[in-house]
C-alpha cells in the first residue's frame, strides 16, 4: 500500500505471523530437497521435535488444528447423535468438528482463575443422566495460553470414564509444573495457524501416548488407503497430512519457540506495568504452578470503575490509530449456530466476554509500536476517567 499520507500509521495487528530467515532457509531446503530425499523428511523431523518438546510418545503433523480435533473425535468413536462436552469459552474451531460428525456439543462454563472449563460445572454435565452414557469425549481448551486446571479435570473425567481431548492450539510452550500443554490429554492437539505462537503458515498436530490410536490417525489422515500395493479403501479417509514444505517451516520455528514465548510474556508485563494501576482494569494472573505462554494478553474492563469506559471504547480508540485489539471469542453457548445445544454452568464465561479485550500481542511488537499503543491506552483511560 502507498503511504502517501503522513498521518496514516503502520497497522499494528493483534497476533501477526512472525517468521524470519531461519524458516526461509528450511523452506528453500525443503523445496530443493524434495526431489532428492524421500518425501516426508521434514514431516518426520518436525514430528520428532514435537514429541521431544512435549514429552509425548507419538505425534502426527496435520494440515490444521481443526483437522486434529476432527481426527481425535473420530478416534474416540464419536457417532451421529452422541454427545461431546466442550468448553464454552473457546474459539469456534474447538466445537465445529463435533458437528462435522453430527454429534451434539454439551457446553460447559468457565471458572475465573484460568477462564477455562470449570471442574464443578463439568461434573454436573457428566452426572446428568439425560445423556445416558453417550458422552464420548471432553474437549478442554487452554485459552489464550493459560493452562486449564487439568488435574481436577482429569480426575473427574476418569471417574466418569470419559476421555479428554486437550486443545493446546493456543498453548504451545505453556505448562503445569513440568508437564507441557499438549502432553496431558488422552489425545492432544496443537495448531500452527498463522496467528499462533509458532506457525507453519497453516498446520496442526495430534499427540498421544497411545500407539494404536496414532496408527489409526495416520491411516485416516492419508485417505485410509493403507492396503498398499493394492489401494483399497476399507473406510472413509481424509487428506489431512501436513505438506513436507510446511513441516520445513515448522522445524525452523521450533528453534525460536523459547524466544517467542519470552517475547509474548514480555508483552504481558508491558501491559501489566502500563495498566494495572488503573481502577477497573484487571489481568489474568498465573495461578500457582501454571505457566502461560501469554499467547494473547487480555484485560477485563469494568466500566463501573473506569467512569464508563468500556472494553469496546478502548478497542475503537485503538482502531482509530490503526491498532488492532479484539473482543474475546464469544462463548459457544451464546453463538447462534449452537443455539439448540445444552449448557451447564453460570455466568462466568458470559461475564468475561462482556468485559474482555485482547490487546496486540505479536512477538514482533517493536518499541515504537509499544509507544503508540501506550499513548492510545492512556488517552482512552485518562480522558474518560477525569
Ligand atoms: C486456532 C485454534 C484451533 C484450530 O486450529 P487451526 O489450525 O486454525 O485449525 C482450535 N482451537 C483453538 C482454541 C484455537 O485457537
Q: What is the pLDDT of residues 57-106, one digit of tens each?
A: 999 999 999 999 999 999 999 999 999 999 999 999 999 999 999 999 99
Query: Minimum mean pLDDT among 14-28, 189-203, 278-292, 324-338: which range?
Result: 14-28
> Which of 63, 73, 93, 199 maximizes ligand 1 atoms within 8 Å of its Cβ, making it the mutation to test the pocket?
93
pLDDT at 300 > cutoff 70? yes
pLDDT at 362 > cutoff 90? yes
Q: What is the pLDDT of residue 234?
A: 66
- What are the grid coordinates assigned to 58, written together? 507419538
Phi and psi angles of residue 35, each rounded to the nearest 5 degrees, phi first: -100, -5
Q: What is the pLDDT of residue 131?
A: 81
Question: Which DSSP string corresponds to 32-85?
Answer: HHTTTS-TTHHHHHHHHHHHHHHT-SEEEEES-HHHHHHHHHHHTT--TT-EEE
Q: What is the pLDDT of residue 43?
A: 94
**186, 56 Cβ separation under 8 angstroms:** no
Q: Which residues pair with 171 in a beta bridge?
A: none
Minimum-distance ligand 1 atom for the alpha carbon of 68 = 9
Does the beta carbon of 167 lie inside 6 Å of ligand 1? yes
Does the beta carbon of 145 lie inside 6 Å of ligand 1? no
**What is the pTM for the complete model shown?**
0.94
Q: Decide which of 289 and 33 is more confident.
A: 289
Q: What is the pLDDT of residue 236?
A: 86
Q: What is the pLDDT of residue 4?
A: 47
Q: How far is the CA of 320 from the centre of ligand 1 (A)?
A: 29
Does the beta carbon of 23 lie inside 6 Å of ligand 1? no
Q: What is the pLDDT of residue 386?
A: 46
Q: What is the pLDDT of residue 346?
A: 97
- The pLDDT confidence band at residue 242, using thresholds 50, 70 and 90, is very high
CA 358 to chain centre: 14
Q: How far is the CA of 90 from the centre of ligand 1 (A)?
A: 9
C-alpha dihedral over 65, 67, 70, 74, to 10 degrees? -120
Amino acid at each position: 500500500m502507498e503511504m502517501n499520507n503522513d498521518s496514516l500509521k503502520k497497522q499494528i495487528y493483534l497476533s501477526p505471523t512472525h517468521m524470519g530467515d531461519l524458516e526461509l532457509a528450511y523452506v528453500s531446503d525443503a523445496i530443493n530437497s524434495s526431489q532428492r530425499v524421500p518425501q516426508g523428511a521434514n514431516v518426520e523431523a518436525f514430528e520428532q521435535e514435537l514429541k521431544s518438546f512435549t514429552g509425548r510418545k507419538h505425534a502426527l503433523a496435520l494440515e490444521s488444528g481443526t483437522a486434529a480435533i476432527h481426527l481425535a473425535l473420530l478416534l474416540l468413536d464419536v457417532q451421529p447423535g452422541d454427545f461431546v462436552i466442550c468448553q464454552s469459552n473457546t474459539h469456534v474451531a474447538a466445537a465445529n468438528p463435533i458437528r462435522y460428525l453430527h454429534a451434539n456439543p454439551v457446553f460447559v462454563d468457565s471458572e475465573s482463575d484460568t477462564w477455562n472449563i470449570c471442574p464443578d460445572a463439568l461434573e454436573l454435565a457428566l452426572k446428568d443422566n439425560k445423556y445416558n452414557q453417550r458422552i464420548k469425549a471432553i474437549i478442554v481448551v487452554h485459552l489464550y495460553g493459560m493452562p486449564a486446571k487439568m488435574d481436577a479435570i482429569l480426575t473427574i473425567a476418569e471417574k466418569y470414564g470419559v476421555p479428554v481431548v486437550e486443545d493446546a492450539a493456543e498453548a504451545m510452550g505453556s505448562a503445569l509444573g513440568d508437564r507441557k500443554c499438549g502432553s496431558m490429554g488422552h489425545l492432544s492437539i496443537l495448531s500452527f495457524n498463522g496467528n499462533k505462537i509458532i506457525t507453519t503458515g497453516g498446520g496442526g498436530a495430534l499427540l498421544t501416548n497411545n500407539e494404536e490410536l496414532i496408527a489409526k490417525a495416520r491411516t485416516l489422515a492419508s485417505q485410509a488407503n493403507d492396503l498398499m500395493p493394492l489401494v483399497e479403501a476399507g473406510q472413509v479417509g481424509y487428506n489431512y497430512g501436513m505438506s513436507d514444505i510446511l513441516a520445513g517451516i515448522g522445524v525452523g520455528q521450533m528453534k525460536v519457540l523459547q524466544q517467542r514465548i519470552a517475547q509474548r510474556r514480555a508483552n504481558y508485563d508491558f501491559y501489566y506495568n502500563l495498566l494495572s494501576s488503573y481502577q477497573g482494569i484487571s489481568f489474568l494472573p498465573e495461578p500457582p504452578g501454571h505457566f502461560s505462554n501469554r499467547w494473547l494478553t487480555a484485560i477485563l474492563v469494568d466500566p463501573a470503575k473506569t467512569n464508563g469506559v468500556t472494553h469496546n471504547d478502548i478497542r475503537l480508540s485503538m482502531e482509530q490509530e490503526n491498532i488492532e485489539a479484539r473482543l474475546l471469542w464469544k462463548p459457544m453457548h451464546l453463538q447462534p449456530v449452537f443455539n439448540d445445544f445444552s449448557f451447564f454452568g453460570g455466568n462466568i464465561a458470559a461475564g468475561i466476554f462482556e468485559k474482555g479485550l485482547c490487546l496486540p500481542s505479536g512477538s514482533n511488537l517493536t518499541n515504537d509500536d509499544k509507544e503508540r499503543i501506550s499513548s492510545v491506552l492512556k488517552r482512552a483511560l485518562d480522558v474518560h476517567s477525569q
